[in-house]
Amino acid sequence: MLDIRNAVKVFEKGTPIEHTALNNLNLHLEPGEFVTVIGSNGAGKSTLFNAVCGTFLLNRGRIFLDGQDITYLPEHVRARTIGRVFQDPMKGTAPHMTIEENLSLAHSRSTARALSFAPAKKEIALFRDRLSEFRMGLEDRMKTKVGLLSGGQRQAVTLLMCTIVPPKLLLLDEHTAALDPATAEQVMDITKKTVEAYRLTTMMITHNISQALSTGTRTVMMDEGEILFDMSGEEREKTTVDDLMRMYSTSRKKELDNDRMLLKKE
């Protein structure tokens, strides 16, 4: 579904603080794969997501999505087929607009007609239906401004916005990291169900290694703009958090360092 070939991204090129964030990275995702991405600080995880979304262009390399070359497509065009949830719950929604207006905005990528009234009645029924699946009571608060919701509720709305028209690729950038543990679990649960129900091709950055190993179908560890390990299936099932740490230290000759990484087993 997603095919990244020889991706290179260098920041501040030609200055003393030149920094290679993606170093000839290759990654291929099959349709329906759910890949968790881990890595130390500055490993290039978010850079990878930004490159796929078109926040900036690559210095070298190509990106294909569903066979289409999207390397030079502008961000808002890619957004038609790529959904993204950020860590910051403020980022994905418009705070002064109601839940149904936010959802309608996202839903419009399939139906957009500039001068039709929005949100349309048909849409609202659909939103209510989908929101009720979350069991957060949001379906009864459709006319509430999103700014009044809690972080977890906002992330749930954002997730629905990204998936109301099933995207070809769903990118989750530590989307539960800013939430309290109970809410994080709730949002994670919703995420898993949604991904499963629509068989979404998904990449999720997480700082929780045991979650990375237990969620999805494949785990990728990034370091210095490259992919260090890539495991799936039986190999992944047998791997523990400790194994991963050891593999990292032997191959990089240094300790895995991420000030937010959760190394303990739960």
Residues making contact with other proteins (CB under 8 A): 53, 75-80, 84, 90-97, 101-102, 104-106, 108-109, 112-119, 161
Name the minimum Å distance from CB 174 to other proteins: 16
Distance separating alpha carbons of residues 26 and 204, to the nearest angstrom: 17
Name the minimum Å distance from CB 102 to other proteins: 8
Distance separating alpha carbons of residues 243 and 146, to the nearest angstrom: 42
- Closer CB to other proteins, 135 or 147, in the complex: 147
**What's the start-to-end Cα distance of the chain, in Å?**
32
- Closer CB to other proteins, 102 or 208, in the complex: 102
Name the minimum Å distance from CB 160 to other proteins: 12
Name the minimum Å distance from CB 76 to other proteins: 5
Backbone φ and ψ for 181, nearest 5 degrees, come out as -55, -45
- Closer CB to other proteins, 187 or 228, in the complex: 187
Distance separating alpha carbons of residues 23 and 225, to the nearest angstrom: 5
Residue listed under structure tokens 């303990």: 264
- Closer CB to other proteins, 75 or 242, in the complex: 75
- Closer CB to other proteins, 73 or 247, in the complex: 73
Q: Which residues contact 153 (CB under 8 A, 6 or more apart)?
A: 136, 138
Distance separating alpha carbons of residues 222 and 35, to the nearest angstrom: 12
Name the minimum Å distance from CB 75 to other proteins: 6
Q: Which residues contact 16 (CB under 8 A, 6 or more apart)?
A: none
